[in-house]
Structure 1
């Protein structure tokens, strides 16, 4: 039996691929500043930032979804709202498919939901540590500092590339699996995001029972360049929808 939606839900912030909890701290702080949630929590997925991947676990979307589920249970949260940036949005949707009723609502930003072998191979090709180190040394240094306690950034890139290729061969979110996600979902796409299209988000929204896709003008993909007031507004809108019982 699904627990009723609390009048004041908690919010969990989830980072994207190559991201960390520290990277998402400004997002969590922007949501906390609204003072309208029971709590705002910033989860770091295993294999990222300062969180090692436990021995015996695969670096996979399913592992991340289970980590989110365990976090919800450990914090005794009742149907929290999840703001998932990029990969974080995929993780949240996957968990709600695997364990319906765990999440009360989901807001995604810049989340790629349409994966094919070609798309995955193109994404994986951009995760070459030698190329990044040679062409964008400042970014390489940032990644090295961000993930030094989780096995290192080179290992993270290798793991992520492999995971994306597997996702391209066998997508976990399909028309059928999305159809089983019954919580409210807002799929947000930045107008200057060159990695995700509104068309793909709209198609995904059509498969979700309670979803809409929206274009946010002038918003790029990197979370560091996103207007956090826009993110806070969108999460607030979805929360209002939940508490109103829409």
Structure 2
């Protein structure tokens, strides 16, 4: 079976992708990983950076002895997958991104990081704070959030995916976004799609940003269909 790596988003963990992994395991050899500092993994000495997460993926591929793989990346996971594909296209067979924020600027980072104040989250959304505490234990979820905010500010100043770099990505990519996503716009997803030379665009109806609200059944079908399309050799196309 073909390899498929599932990548979680910011503040997420591999455990969140377990239902999707189980739904796809009859079709692919499915893998997941926790990025540094997520899902209970130790917080790194250095700050969160996209380069660090790219190294996490490369290290995992070496560990599992995977020469290449398809990738599904949710939110930040999609950004990391495409960043890796820029550097090591031979390791990535295709990338399916969902709810990935492409348009990073200082203004966008400021808007996103306003939501990442641990004290305010604990006060105003205690259930979310409790979920984060459980998800990242034994690490301090507040530190994970602060590290994430710092990474977003750095991305705002120095984005990896730009009008110059996106056209260099030759791997097949499907960029998907929910039509009711309040964190990632259809417009910025369309912007990325137009710059990618080998891409498909998918707007999912009645779909919001949080992964927990997604239909695993529908997402499984979309991923299978996309990988099925890109895996057909040119000689087999009727």
Could you say whether these structures have the same fold, taking a TM-score greater than 0.5 normalized by the shorter chain as the test? yes
Of 45, 50, 53, the match for 2:35: 45
TM-score by length of 1: 0.91
CA shift for structure 1 position 123: 0.4
Asked if 1 retains the 8 angstrom alpha-carbon contact of 2:76 and 2:100, the reply is: yes
Of 89, 107, 112, 1:118 maps to 107
Q: Larger % of helix: which?
A: 2
Give SS of 1:167's match.
Answer: helix
**How far did residue 79 of structure 1 move?**
2.1
CA positional deviation for 1:78: 3.2
CA distance in 1, matches of 2:132, 2:9: 13
Q: CA RMSD in A?
A: 1.2
SS of the residue 2:89 aligns to = coil
TM-score (norm 2): 0.94
Q: Which residue of 2 aligns with 1:96?
A: 85
Which of 50, 70, 86 is equivalent to 2:59?
Answer: 70
Residues 160-169 or 171-180, more deviating: 171-180
Consecutive unaligned residues in structure 1, runs of 5 or more: 1-7
Q: Deviations over 1:101-147 (max 9, x none)?
A: 11100011100011010110110110001111111111111111111
Is the 1:9–1:78 contact (alpha carbons within 8 Å) kept by the matching residues of 2?
no
Moved more, 136-145 or 229-238: 229-238
Query: What's the CA shift for 1:54?
Result: 4.0
Checking the alignment, whether the CA contact within 8 Å between 1:9 and 1:79 is kept in structure 2 is no
CA distance in structure 2 between the aligned counterparts of 1:131 and 1:204, rounded to whole angstroms? 33
Aligned to 2:4: 11
Q: Does 1:137 align with 2:126?
A: yes
Structure 1 runs, 4 residues or longer, greater than 4 Å off: none
**C-alpha contact 2:96 2:174 (8 A) present in aligned 1:** yes
In the alignment, is the contact (CA less than 8 A) between 1:15 and 1:88 conserved in 2? yes
Note the C-alpha offset of 1:209.
Answer: 1.3
